[in-house]
Amino acid sequence: MSISQIKGNTVDVHLWTPVNEVESVALDQLRNTASIPWVFHHVAAMADVHYGNGATVGSVIAMKDAVCPAAVGVDIGCGMGAMMTNLTASQLPDSLKALRLAIEEQIPVGFNSHTSVPKIPLGIDNKRKKLFNSFNLLHPGVQERRDRALVQCGTLGGGNHFIELCLDENDRVWLMLHSGSRNIGKEIAEAHIKIAKTLEHNQRLPDRNLAVFLVSTKEMNSYRQDLYWAQEYAFLNREVMFELCKSVLVKFFPDIKFEQPILCHHNYVAEEVHYDEKVFVTRKGAIRAGDGDMGIIPGSMGTRSYVVRGKGSEESFQSASHGAGRRMSRGAAKKKFTLQDLEEQTAGVECRKDAGIIDEIPGAYKDIDKVMANQADLVDVVAELRAVICIKG
């Protein structure tokens, strides 16, 4: 059950974290969200909830006949993937630097793209072709981005996105990654958020950033088409990166075998039934945790991550947190922490240890163990992972 609640003008907010541990600006966002006329039943705030651009990160919102694009976020379809291998820790070399560099050479990070469309297995390649065959149906403002979107498919991006090689409690080696819909998803989101803000029915909202589209309107139909395209692109992006990572690992470990990946979005819209009503559910910084659903909840560089199985809590709209959640902004982290702090907090992890990733230091994030304890009613832990290689954008 939720730990605390706050009042909104339309519905209440149920939080899986103490109210006094949430920033006041995030609480204001949640109250504004709970005052949207179309919001349904209540707003669910996950254990990692924190202030976000436009809408709160870690919020799950059900709406009747409406969708708020800011409640999805600009990285549409951002999410996780994890894949167990047959390797064990004893088979890894003493130094993992060469393996890290090889993965970084294969997968562009930050703003970078592939120099050409990467070669991938036929089944995934067919999915890519089918997806891009419908590119001309997207918002006119992104039409010139087709070639860029093609070469960014299978790339990491920056910020909190990562590729990790991890060990579980039994010293089995896992491959885990976190990425989204790259620049094309951002541009699609921003174009539609801009349109939503101009619509008459949104002019009296407490926060225009929370503007919505209404069903059976041309604006909603256009957004849904582009949204679902971007969600599929983000999913494909992670599948392509897995294939590229696997091609590197096979060179280092010729006998390696891979289990089927666990893949999940945590910035997306789904059409679901809750409390006997069909609703649009937006999860921004939250995974689906229906009964038996597999998911991934990462910590941060140098801390544990978790593979989980959902318990199907209706109060959370069958959701759980998407990670540890930030406890300070990137700017604040850069001011507070030093390179020595980064070295100490990522000890034992093969990763960059330079000023370019200091805003991703573990100390900038909430305590993942406390986050997991606060949502013990939402998920069961299947595997506990600790990183031995971490690649950041």
pLDDT tens for 287-313 read 999 999 999 999 998 899 999 999 999
Helix (H, G, I), strand (E, B) or coil at 307: strand
Alpha helix ranges (H) inside 175-306? 182-198, 218-252
pLDDT in tens, 182-216: 999 999 999 999 999 999 999 999 999 999 999 99
Per-residue pLDDT band at 15 (split at 50, 70, 90): very high
pLDDT value, residue 37: 96
For 96-131, write each residue's pLDDT tens digit: 999 999 999 999 999 999 999 999 999 999 999 999
Residues in Cβ contact with 135 at an 8 Å cutoff, skipping those fewer than 6 apart: 143, 146, 149, 229
Residues 243 and 106 sit within 8 Å (Cβ to Cβ):
no
Dihedral sign computed on CA atoms, order 65, 69, 70, 71: positive
- Predicted confidence band of residue 180 (pLDDT cuts 50, 70, 90): very high
Using DSSP's 3-state secondary structure scheme, residue 63 falls into strand
Q: How far is CA 220 from the centre of its chain?
A: 23
What pLDDT sits at residue 307?
Answer: 98
pLDDT digits (tens, 9 = 90+) for 49-65: 999 998 999 999 999 99
Residues known to be catalytic: 322
pLDDT score of 302:
84
Structure letter (DSSP) for residue 8: -
Report the largest interatomic distance among the alpha carbons of the chain, rounded to a whole angstrom. Answer: 63
Quote the pLDDT of residue 340: 97
pLDDT band at 22 (very low <50, low <70, confident <90, very high): very high
* Pair of tokens at residue 261: 């990946």
135 vs 224: CA distance, rounded Å: 14
Going 275 to 229 to 50 to 343, the CA torsion angle's sign is positive
64-77 mean pLDDT: 97
Cα–Cα distance for residue pair 38/213, rounded to 1 Å:
10
Across the range 222-249, mean pLDDT stands at 98
Identify the residue whose tokens are 């130094």.
95
Is the pLDDT assigned to residue 47 strictly greater than 90?
Answer: yes
State CA 329 to chain mean position distance.
17
Give the Cα separation of 358 and 360 in Å (integer).
5
pTM for the complete prediction? 0.96
Residue 116: what pLDDT?
A: 96
Mean pLDDT of the chain: 97
**In this predicted structure, what is the pLDDT of residue 393?**
81
Strand 304-310, strand 294-297: pairing? antiparallel
Q: Is the pLDDT of residue 17 over 90?
A: yes
Rounded Cα gap, residues 31 and 10, in angstroms: 9
Angle 67-69-236 (CA atoms, 0-180°, nearest 5)?
105
Residue-wise pLDDT for 118-173, tens only, equals 999 999 999 999 999 999 999 999 999 999 999 999 999 999 999 999 999 999 99
Question: For residue 8, what pLDDT is reported?
Answer: 93
Q: What is the mean pLDDT of residues 315-334?
A: 95
311 closest CA partner among 294, 291, 296: 291
Sorted by where each starts, the structural domains of the chain and their CATH numbers stand as 4-327+365-392 (3.90.1860.10), 328-364 (no CATH)
Encode pLDDT of 340-385 as tens digits. Answer: 999 999 999 999 999 999 999 999 999 999 999 999 999 999 999 9
Q: Which two tokens stand for residue 392?
A: 């950041």
Task: Tell me the C-alpha distance between 109 and 245, whole Å.
Answer: 13
pLDDT confidence of residue 171: 98
- String of b and e for 281-301 (b: at least 16 CB within 10 Å)? bbbbbbbbbbeebbbbbbbbb
324 near 301, Cβ under 8 Å? no
Percent of residues, the chain, with pLDDT higher than 70? 100
Give the Cα separation of 366 and 48 in Å (integer).
7
337: its two tokens? 């922490």
DSSP state for residue 119 in the 8-state scheme: P
CA 381 to CA 383: how far, in whole Å? 6
Given this model, what pLDDT does residue 275 score? 98
165-171 long-range contacts (CB < 8 A, ≥24 apart) are 165/96, 165/99, 165/387, 165/388, 165/389, 166/305, 166/385, 166/386, 166/387, 166/388, 167/89, 167/385, 167/386, 167/388, 168/84, 168/383, 168/384, 168/385, 169/383, 169/384, 170/88, 171/88, 171/89, 171/90
